[in-house]
Structure 1
């Protein structure tokens, strides 16, 4: 996921994204990272890996109230038009939302 964060909301975003890391790992992610773009102020890229597409889908079916609170906190920190996701699997890439650009 790519996030565009207002500098005034940076600390709140970093706090919320730390909770999202714990959520992703709880739900089966075996790798998780957050990168801050040094060239573009306020641009962050979250990456995570799960063992299978089923592992990716499973958390969507069991969202807790705490999970929702983390998601809301992250959404408050960025522009909704800036959310971008990229899914890769089986040697192919799917794009959703705005076009993906290299960091």
Structure 2
């Protein structure tokens, strides 16, 4: 099907689930996670100000747009920063993100 990709999500308990994502509605990964009922606070509403949507990209990072300075600044405040850490609110999904695999790391408080 056109404009549908499959991504894998690992939750905080280590459970992995595949979800299908439409790419023609310009949703962020954070919005997809919330719509799929994952526990993501997203306190700042997607403005890259709180890092509660922190994810670690396990596969597919090469197909993501590079993090911008405001995202990198927020990531630098995290105690559990990984080399492939990103803010889900700053990731817009496109057709070339098929197969993306992320682990939810963001705080629940």
| TM-score clears 0.5 | no
Structure with greater helix percent: 1
Rg comparison, structure with higher value? 1
Considering Cα pairs closer than 8 Å and 6+ residues apart, tell me whether 1 or 2 has the greater RCO.
2
> TM-score, with normalisation over the residues of structure 2?
0.25
> TM-score, with normalisation over the residues of structure 1?
0.26
